[in-house]
Amino acid sequence: MGEVWTLAEFRHGELSSVSYELLNRGKNLSQKLDTALASVILGYDIKKEDIDELIARGADKVYVVDDKNLENFLVESYANVLIALLDEYKPDIFIAAATTTGRTLMPYVAVRKKTGLTADCTVLDIEEGTGNLLQTRPAIGGNILATIKTPNTRPQMATVRPHSMKPAMPDKNRNGEVIYKKYDESLFKTRSKYLRFIKDESQQVTVQDAKVIVAGGKGVGKEENFAIIDELAELLGGAVGASRDVVDRGWKTYPHQIGLSGKTVSPALYIAAGISGAVQHIAGMQTSENIIAINKDSDAQIFHLANLGIVGDLNEVLPLLIERIKEYKAKEASANV
Amino acid sequence: MKIVVPIKQVPETSNVKMNPETGTMVREGVESIINPLDLYAIETAIRLKEKFGGQVIVISMGPDKALEAIKEAIAMGCDDGILLSDRKFAGSDTWATSYVIANGIKQIGDFDLVICGERATDGDTAQVGPGIASFLDLPLSTFTSEILSLNDGKIKVRRLVEGGYEEIELELPAALTVVKEISDPRLPTLRGKLKAKKMEIPVWGPQNINADEENLGLKGSPTRVVKIFTPKVTREGEKIIVKDEKTLNEAVDKIMDYLIKKEFI
Ligand SMILES: Cc1cc2nc3c(=O)[nH]c(=O)nc-3n(C[C@H](O)[C@H](O)[C@H](O)COP(=O)(O)OP(=O)(O)OC[C@H]3O[C@@H](n4cnc5c(N)ncnc54)[C@H](O)[C@@H]3O)c2cc1C
Ligand SMILES: Nc1ncnc2c1ncn2[C@@H]1O[C@H](COP(=O)(O)O)[C@@H](O)[C@H]1O
């Protein structure tokens, strides 16, 4: 039985926490299959702490390719290296996060390996008897769930929706094997060049990475009113989301758009304010763990999804809520002194 | 410049039905449109043509009905269209779909750019664009939000990634997948519609694109659908109606209780 591999994401010199979510998923699978769980980390100047952290979070093995040529993600060189690794070690299962990197690299690799790849899975399991990977994903705007397998080719590949599972907890006492691989310069040859990263200051917390999203719709009324959405998001340490109507009006930029033609998210908490809940919006957020909706119209579709629905004016509810959260936090802070 | 734009025809509504036996979509009785996210790819291609000259060719794999999508793209300003259609293509997963489209594009030959939508709103995988690029062995920029420059056989683009944007430069020929932010799609013109109506769109099958039959349809697809089911979306939520000062306070109390209980604050 081949190993279960997860792709650790190392961007701008930092290991991203989706890497630990994948290890949590991978552990389930490797235990059921009674095989080793490994992480693959590609990048430049990878720190020993990061490798140790992967082991602490569940990796039995870590495959490391540390090369100046891998400093920034370019699909051609990353794919070449991965294919070399897959060819040599022949894992049974290979999963990556459904981030912009995972969603670019995995299909590029799966085509070359002539193997199946399932996108943006929310559930992974092992089929009794065959040991095949069962990959469940929402499709058609979340209207259906499909379970898919790759019966005849290996590795079985999947991308996994970020935040669809908690990160594995660290255990500093775990031991693991580290395998450093070096590759010939020719493998890194690309016809693409990385120029630079431009940080979007309005995306301090991005919607894909956020545990909490506070989203505003047309019901917010005007651009200036979005300040209360921004403030609430900041208080909760979350990101700001928006419906398409808001983005089309220019109140928020496209990276904030949630839905069919925007981002698909599944945060732990989604607060929807002044959003009607059109199918195209719901398609992007219905897998959120907790949903709180605030809308003037008691018949708004969004209430069908909400764990807690407030029928009321967001311009009354949110300022009061913000005030109360601040009071609560101040009290907590003074109690802790 | 020769630009190829793969477009997919998708069902109009989000309420499409699935055949639970085969795991494929029931297409009868639903209106079909160009995948909304492919409109941005079409618009991007047309703008490049307007600036640099050349030709935009749309290509689609699907049933005969997909000719409508191709004609609509031509009405928007694309020059030519090709339909990849054959019973043997049916049941393809993203691997086999990418294979067929890539082979079709090889047949067109000597192109500079392939521009795909970010993802199709039905299958929703975003895998076919990178898949085509891989089959054609092209440098690739996914989630492209802006084209910064195009000269000396190179294209400089900006892509939307977690936390910001990345700028990369690709040698041509290259492949892009684009996000909505890149452009505002134009509407078809009357003149375009007339032109599209008169045009004969070639339909290519496996023999026209040198396809290996082993790689087509269900047979060529590494993945299998095990089952399809409908998730339960409605939640047993509580609803509070704000009518006055008092109920407003109660509503906010409820939210606070919820946030505290679930440890969000
Ligand atoms: C192909 C396609 C793709 C699409 N993709 C997306 C997508 O990715 N994301 C997306 O969001 N949409 C998308 N849409 C658009 C979608 O159909 C809806 O038009 C959109 O989601 C509506 O946005 P909204 O809820 O902000 O506005 P509205 O539907 O206008 O709703 C505003 C809500 O605010 C409430 N309200 C008003 N004032 C207040 C107040 N003071 N306090 C509280 N509540 C108030 C109203 O009761 C109403 O329910 C897409 C559409 C198509 C056709
Ligand atoms: N059947 C098809 N014919 C032509 N292009 C397609 C087809 N399927 C997918 N594409 C292209 O690939 C992109 C991604 O589709 P998907 O991987 O299905 O989400 C689409 O936006 C299209 O540009």
A332 by Cβ neighbours in 10 Å (0-12 / 13-18 / 19+) ranks as exposed
Q: Is pLDDT above 60 for B9?
A: yes
Give me the residue from A134, A190, A291 closest to B226, CB to CB.
A134
Structure tokens at A2: 């081949």
Amino acid code (one letter) for A287:
T
Give me the pLDDT at residue B125, please: 94
Residue B121 vs residue B99, higher pLDDT? B99
Question: Dihedral sign, CA of A232, A237, A238, A239?
Answer: positive
Asked if the C-beta of A178 comes within 8 angstroms of chain B's C-beta atoms, the answer is no
Give me the pLDDT at residue B25, please: 59
User: Torsion angle, CA of B195/B200/B201/B202, rounded to 10 degrees?
Assistant: -160
CA of B196 to the centre of ligand 2 (A): 22
Give me the pLDDT at residue A261, please: 83
Among B5, B7, B8, B178, name the best residue to mutate to test ligand 2's pocket (greatest count of ligand atoms within 8 A of Cβ): B8
Report d(CA A215, CA A226) in Å as an integer: 10
Strand B80-84 to A37-43 pairing: unpaired
The secondary structure of A257-290 as a DSSP string is BBSTTSB----SEEEEES----HHHHTTTTT-SE
What stretch of H or E contains B217? Answer: helix B217-220
B168:A195 CB<8 A: yes
Give me the pLDDT at residue B244, please: 95
Return the number of other C-beta atoms located less than 10 Å from residue A198's C-beta.
13
CATH 3.40.50.620 assigned to A4-188: yes
Residue B7 DSSP SS3: coil
Predicted TM-score of the model (pTM): 0.86
Q: pLDDT band at B124, cuts 50/70/90?
A: confident
**Domain segments of chain A: what residues?**
4-188, 201-335
Q: Which residues pair with B84 in a beta bridge?
A: B61, B204
Residue A65 DSSP SS3: strand
CA of B25 to the centre of ligand 1 (A): 27
Give me the pLDDT at residue A264, please: 87
Question: Dihedral sign, CA of A289, A156, B178, B168?
Answer: positive
A138 by Cβ neighbours in 10 Å (0-12 / 13-18 / 19+) ranks as buried
Give me the pLDDT at residue B233, please: 59
ipTM score of the complex? 0.86
pLDDT of B206-261, one tens digit each?
999 999 999 999 999 999 999 988 766 567 689 999 999 999 999 999 999 999 99
Return the number of other C-beta atoms located less than 10 Å from residue B55's C-beta.
16
Among B56, B128, B143, B203, name the best residue to mutate to test ligand 2's pocket (greatest count of ligand atoms within 8 A of Cβ): B128
Structure tokens at A85: 């690794």
Report d(CA B148, CA A90) in Å as an integer: 40
pLDDT of A76-123, one tens digit each?
999 999 999 999 999 999 999 999 999 999 999 999 999 999 999 999
Contact A286, A302 (CB under 8 A): no
Contact B8, B97 (CB under 8 A): no
Give me the pLDDT at residue B203, please: 98
A103:B130 CB<8 A: yes
% chain B with pLDDT above 90: 86
DSSP state for residue A203 in the 8-state scheme: G
On the CB side of A48, how many CA atoms lie within 13 Å of its CA? 0
Task: For residue A151, give how far its alpha carbon lies from the nearest alpha carbon of chain B (Å).
Answer: 7
Question: Which residue of chain A is at minimal alpha-carbon distance from B99?
Answer: A111
Give every CB contact of residue A113 below 8 A, 6+ residues apart in sequence.
Answer: A83, A86, A153, A155, A157
Contact A238, A212 (CB under 8 A): yes
Report d(CA A201, CA A216) in Å as an integer: 19
**Which strands form A144-149's sheet, in the order they lie side by side?**
A123-126, A133-139, A144-149, B224-229
DSSP state for residue A16 in the 8-state scheme: -
Report d(CA A207, CA A160) in Å as an integer: 16
Report d(CA B190, CA A62) in Å as an integer: 60
CA of B60 to the centre of ligand 2 (A): 8
Structure tokens at A22: 């994948």
Among protein residues, the one with the nearest Cα to ligand 1's atom 49 is A276
% chain B with pLDDT above 70: 92
The secondary structure of A66-132 as a DSSP string is E-GGGSS--HHHHHHHHHHHHHHH--SEEEEESSTTHHHHHHHHHHHHT--EEEEESEEEE-TTT-P
* Cα A162–chain centre separation: 2
Chain B residues in contact with A196 by the CB 8 A cut-off are: 166-167
Residue corresponding to tokens 């993802």: B119
Domains A4-188 and A201-335 share a fold: yes
Give me the residue from B140, B227, B242 closest to A310, CB to CB.
B242
Give me the pLDDT at residue B109, please: 94
Pick the CATH number of A201-335 from 3.40.50.1220, 3.20.20.70, 3.75.10.10, 3.30.70.1350: 3.40.50.1220
Instruction: Tell me if A281 CB under 6 Å of ligand 1.
Output: yes
pLDDT of B35-64, one tens digit each?
999 999 999 999 999 999 999 999 999 999
Structure tokens at B153: 């056989």
Weakly modelled stretches of chain A, pLDDT under 70: 141-143, 203-204, 337
Question: Dihedral sign, CA of A198, A203, A208, A211?
Answer: positive
